[in-house]
Amino acid sequence: MSISRNDLSASGSSSSSSSPTATGAPLPRKQEPSSESKNLGQQSLHADKIAQEPLTDEKTNDQRVKEPYSIYTRNEKWFLVLLIAISGLFSPLTANVYFPAIPAIAGAFHKSTELINLTITMYMIFQGISPMLFGTLADNVGRRIIYASCLLILSLTCVGLALIPTSAYWLLLLLRCLQSTGSASTIALGAGVIGDIAEAHERGGFFGVYQSGPLLAPAIGPVIGGALAGTLGWRSIFWFLCISSGVAFLVVIIFLPETLRSIVGNGSIPTKSSILHQPLIRIVGRGRAGGSSKPKSNQPQPSRKRKPFKNPFGILLHNPDITLILFFNGTVNAVYYAVTATISTFFASAYPQLGETEVGLCFLAIGGGMFLGSLTSGKVLDWEFGRIQKEVKEKGREKGTERGEGEEQKKTGRYDEDFPIEKARLRLIPFFMIFFVGANLGYGWSIQRQVHISVPLILQFIVGFIAIIVMNADATFVIDLMPEQSSSVSACNNLFRGTSGALLVSVIDLIANALGGPGWTFILLGGVCAVMTPMVYVVMQIGPGWRIRRAIRAGK
């Protein structure tokens, strides 16, 4: 309780008025100064001591504000990003390694290629749906346990797929859905970890490198799948996935610490459970991370009250700026998937001299573009963020309202309603979309006119390079808006990307046949992207208002 000097002075006056002198009892005159001096001296010392208490509290609050957003060093953050990037490989790897084995699996199950392709469609549907569950669970019970659970599900379902009888087509469909459930959520969970440990000004760089892992899989997946299916048979593909995902499960259990901020704060808060939230071998945060032992009395304590389960669909229903940008992102992703899914059929038709191995190598062009684009996007996002931040600070100096966004706000991992995060993340997207649309228009006609094969491969590379820059910018943007629900909002992103990709891939052959080939097909798809691009400007206009509404709802 804080007591002011005036209160104490009044208290002193009251006590003096009730002294023996006030009641008329005679006291020796020479004792009065000594008694009053003594009382006043004690009151003055007591008042000084109490008056300092609010200052001590303020000092403590300042110290808390200045606490680092994360206890992990820059190198330790990179270690965690690489760790989750490797785990994030399995979502696209499990999908792409399957493609070369489709003819062999169709023959083994005595089913048509269309029915085997149905397993791909079902995989993509669950790829979009399952992160909505696991991402939300990770935002409530922790990243580490959900990460390990997903990898364990993937490993066990791969055992079933490797041993499946060829008379049970229904079981193939079921296990592919379960396989997708286990593998697809790792990308959303990784995005959640980055939101936990990375401040806003460095999040773009980390996210760009993180995405390079999952995006390397589309390039190497068909090569690995073709090699395994051609030498050891199609079942060896699932044994490979079983062993690799099992190793990833052990790596997560041994090395990955809990990062969910509602449980461990910036990593320094101790947890009750050493099994669920603590790695078996701690490599990062030694001496700084909270352990499972009894915490010290002066350490900040995590809230033990269970957080209410938040419906991830509420993000889409109550935040139109997020919904619009995810819809735009899903459109770009769907066109990217249309290019990838038709490489085998379009190249085999336009360049009949290519064998299966050569056609498989054609995937390296778009995969390489995605990989390099992912690395580039991180640097572009961080550079653009820093440039906008500098502009804001300079305007603050001119108006005399600078508030030190470079230091204090960085420590919070996010920026307030006045910082134009939409401009920092989305401003360059329309510029990149010009090249994306142009590459799609040229790609379709280069195949239909059967020009030199280097032309469609270069355009493929551009499509992949630009697509990942745009998608990474959108994904980082929605995490910036809702860092406390980073896994859930990333799951919403996966929902749009997965469902839009599945829908377009399921009808792309019908569209190509109806329009007479890839030329007009990609004219149509490029035109759709061009029409959707102004949606970015809409989000930049309405975004600030909705950020203020979210802050009000959160009680900030």
The whole-number pLDDT of residue 309 equals 55
Q: Rounded mean pLDDT of 166-195?
A: 87
The whole-number pLDDT of residue 273 equals 62
CATH code for the structural domain at 314-397+418-555:
1.20.1250.20
Tokens of 529: 């992207």
Q: Tell me whether residue 68 is exposed, middle or buried, using C-beta atoms within 10 angstroms of its C-beta: 0 to 12, 13 to 18, 19 or more.
A: middle
The whole-number pLDDT of residue 416 equals 53
The whole-number pLDDT of residue 459 equals 95
CA-nearest of 375, 409, 411 to 206 is 375
Q: What is the pLDDT of residues 369-413, one digit of tens each?
A: 888 888 888 888 888 888 888 888 887 777 665 554 444 444 444
List C-alpha distances in Å: 113 to 71, 101, 116, 494: 52, 11, 5, 27
Q: CA angle at residue 460 from 516 to 377, to 5 degrees? A: 135
Q: What is the CA radius of gyration of the chain?
A: 30
DSSP 87: H
Q: What is the pLDDT of residues 122-169, one digit of tens each?
A: 887 888 788 878 877 887 888 888 889 999 999 999 999 999 999 999
Q: Out of 3.30.1490.20, 1.20.1250.20, 3.40.50.2000, 1.20.120.1200, select the CATH number for domain 70-285.
A: 1.20.1250.20
In order, the DSSP letters of 241-274 are: HHHHHHHHHHHHHHHPPP--HHHHTTTTS--S-H
CA 367 to CA 218: how far, in whole Å?
6
Asked if domains 70-285 and 314-397+418-555 share a fold, the reply is yes
Q: What is the pLDDT of residues 97-106, one digit of tens each?
A: 887 788 888 8
Whether residue 60 has pLDDT greater than 60:
no
Tokens of 340: 């990838």
pLDDT-derived band at 227, boundaries 50, 70, 90: confident
Q: Tell me whether residue 397 is exposed, middle or buried, using C-beta atoms within 10 angstroms of its C-beta: 0 to 12, 13 to 18, 19 or more.
A: exposed
Q: Where are the domains of the chain?
A: 70-285, 314-397+418-555
Whether residue 241 has pLDDT greater than 90:
yes
The whole-number pLDDT of residue 11 equals 43
pLDDT-derived band at 210, boundaries 50, 70, 90: confident
pLDDT-derived band at 291, boundaries 50, 70, 90: low
pLDDT-derived band at 356, boundaries 50, 70, 90: low
User: Which residue pairs, CB below 8 angstroms and at least 24 apart, start in 544-549?
Assistant: 544/417, 544/420, 544/422, 546/319, 546/320, 546/321, 547/321, 547/417, 547/421, 547/481, 548/417
Tokens of 235: 């079942």
Sorted by sequence, the CB contacts under 8 Å of residue 340 that are 6+ apart come out as 218, 363, 366
Whether residue 430 has pLDDT greater than 90:
yes
CA 184 to CA 132: how far, in whole Å?
10
CA 269 to CA 225: how far, in whole Å?
44
Global pTM reads: 0.68
Sorted by sequence, the CB contacts under 8 Å of residue 317 that are 6+ apart come out as none
Whether residue 46 has pLDDT greater than 60:
no
The amino acid sitting at 135 is G
